[in-house]
Structure 1
């Protein structure tokens, strides 16, 4: 019996070691005196391994769900741009390399998007513009060659519009920054006169609701936190805006910080100067708009009516159509609205900044 017991004891030890080496469980099997204790320990280890597998599976499912949520939250244009960039990466990269200065325009417009993805978006807008104009030309029964021509013009127009869109955004941001400058300068001057430092005053402006100038001040402070000096961060802001008003403010601040001076009084004085200049420009702008408004009404209301009446009168006198309905539709739908758009654009560009 002693020999049989020794053999059983040896086999139990050998089985425990084999399970421990092969499966390498998270917990070591306790050395028990009976087979039941060892079986119980093995069952607990097996349950623990299954729980770990379930937790890992649940974690993978959570990651997939989170990824799907981010994908759904992304805009439709972003998802299409990702598809275009994935399947047509070669042509997109070729167009990107041919467009010089696009990265600078995106940076100035504060558009946080890569050049390649923006070019993919440009292609999407161009294709949709071409399809829309071709469908419109087809619905008004234009000839097939005109339909193709309008499609090409739509593609080119959409591409050129998207190419210069960052510049338009940048100019609009500069305009908004210049408009908010007097308020931001008064804000900073009041804090500095109370004993607050220039960096803390800029932080207060960045947390206020002054529009793009608050965003730009936040970028200045971010550059300073990442190791840039105060002078370098302000100079970078000046170069990004490329504005005479912003350049004056930056130079005055740097001069006051470097050589000393009452910075709060300087900021107050510049704020008053900017406000006075804006009021004078606004008076001139109102006078100019009053003169252009008569021309705009004549070109958009009176002239189209006179044109249609003239076409009808000429057709009645000649007892035939002087102009084809398709050509008349094109003139009324594109020519006169185009002139109106040009006049509105001229008025908008003359708006004081």
Structure 2
């Protein structure tokens, strides 16, 4: 017997053994002395049981799929679901508007907002409509004329649309500020791992897995770029262009220079971390000195000025024996005018905060 015949005989033995095992598992419930009719009846019952088990498994799978879809729908914000529905119903105009808004996709990418441009445009429209409706209703409830209420509602629509257009830029500036604040800690983290003999890629993975806020997310994107086939140099340069920060550009250039030409990268990163920390402390000291004057102006706008305005209006009304300013105008100034000035002051103070 040749080697091929022996192998075929071995496979036949395995097949016979498998058939015997399957037959014993199926027919172990059939008595040995049962008649043919009894055997057929038992086999029919077994077939019905198998079909019921299959149906129950299918029902369980369908229930699991429905539960998963319900969980996904609950997790997604209502705004996103409404925007997706609106983008599907008005697909043509929304896609045209998304293409006509220049730089929207790039702003979403820099802000790390994982939303398609057309869906985001639908969100812009929804927010603008809501703000317009609420503005008009508020002015109408304040007993203003209908034409003025409609005009204020239209202005609210425009304000909501412009706010949503600039929202990705606001998010990006906030992320950039958080990245620059955490940069000294990240550099020390990298330097300590490099001093221990860990490679630059492994050290960057450690930073991505750490909790440094947005900069950990950016390092995770760098690692994803490298895993998708990009080199370390390309991934870091893409990160540098995305952030557009002078400090981050210095760090990227130093890392690439050390990797390309050699050098003690750990010492370089330690030195950069100390430089950034010293610069931040100096800017913070200058900010604290300037904030004292802003605090006095803020107290005047938020407390003293509304009181003086109210006293002046009451005195002028008493002297002329009539209201100098309608109650609606006083309500708008006291509820929106002076708080808006205070909010503007807070924004100015916040924008001067060192990064």
TM bucket normalised to smaller: 0.7 to 0.9
Structure 1 equivalent of residue 89 of structure 2? 87
Q: Deviations over 1:258-288 (max 9, x none)?
A: 0011101100111011011111111111122
* C-alpha distance in 2 between matches for 1:316 and 1:290: 38
* C-alpha distance in 2 between matches for 1:78 and 1:260: 49
Structure 2 equivalent of residue 108 of structure 1? 110
Structure 1 equivalent of residue 131 of structure 2? 129
Structure 2 equivalent of residue 215 of structure 1? 217
In the TM superposition, residue 46 of structure 1 has moved relative to its aligned partner by: 3.8
Q: Deviations over 1:12-58 (max 9, x none)?
A: xxxxxxxxxxxxxxx9xxxx994543444344334323432332233
Query: Is 1:290 aligned with 2:292?
Result: yes
Provide structure 1 residue ranges, at least 5 long, that are not aligned to the other structure: 1-26
Mapping of 1:62-77 within 5 angstroms?
62-77=64-79
Mapping of 1:260-279 within 5 angstroms?
260-279=262-281
How many residue pairs end up in the alignment?
Answer: 325
* C-alpha distance in 2 between matches for 1:350 and 1:69: 43
TM-score, normalised via structure 2 length: 0.86
Query: Is 1:255 aligned with 2:257?
Result: yes
In the TM superposition, residue 311 of structure 1 has moved relative to its aligned partner by: 1.2
* C-alpha distance in 2 between matches for 1:46 and 1:197: 62
Mapping of 1:38-187 within 5 angstroms?
38-187=40-189
* C-alpha distance in 2 between matches for 1:127 and 1:157: 10
* C-alpha distance in 2 between matches for 1:109 and 1:59: 39
Structure 2 equivalent of residue 323 of structure 1? 325
Structure 2 equivalent of residue 225 of structure 1? 227
Structure 2 equivalent of residue 15 of structure 1? none
In the TM superposition, residue 186 of structure 1 has moved relative to its aligned partner by: 0.9
In the TM superposition, residue 132 of structure 1 has moved relative to its aligned partner by: 1.7
* C-alpha distance in 2 between matches for 1:204 and 1:56: 43
Which deviates more from structure 2 when the two are superposed, residues 121-130 or residues 79-88?
79-88
Partner SS for 2:242: helix
Query: Of 325, 332, 335, which aligns to 2:334?
Result: 332
In the TM superposition, residue 83 of structure 1 has moved relative to its aligned partner by: 2.6
* C-alpha distance in 2 between matches for 1:234 and 1:65: 42
TM-score, normalised via structure 1 length: 0.87
* C-alpha distance in 1 between matches for 2:304 and 2:43: 96
Structure 1 equivalent of residue 3 of structure 2? none
Structure 2 equivalent of residue 13 of structure 1? none
In the TM superposition, residue 181 of structure 1 has moved relative to its aligned partner by: 0.6
* C-alpha distance in 2 between matches for 1:102 and 1:339: 30
Mapping of 1:181-196 within 5 angstroms?
181-196=183-198
Which deviates more from structure 2 when the two are superposed, residues 87-96 or residues 169-178?
87-96
* C-alpha distance in 2 between matches for 1:305 and 1:34: 104
Which deviates more from structure 2 when the two are superposed, residues 263-272 or residues 316-325?
316-325
In the TM superposition, residue 60 of structure 1 has moved relative to its aligned partner by: 1.9
Provide structure 2 residue ranges, at least 5 long, that are not aligned to the other structure: 1-25, 27-33
Q: Where has structure 1 moved over 6 Å in runs of 4 or more?
A: none
* C-alpha distance in 2 between matches for 1:42 and 1:294: 92
* C-alpha distance in 2 between matches for 1:116 and 1:154: 22
In the TM superposition, residue 329 of structure 1 has moved relative to its aligned partner by: 1.5
In the TM superposition, residue 295 of structure 1 has moved relative to its aligned partner by: 1.8
Q: Deviations over 1:169-197 (max 9, x none)?
A: 00110111001111110111111112111
Q: Deviations over 1:141-191 (max 9, x none)?
A: 111111111111111111111111011100110111001111110111111
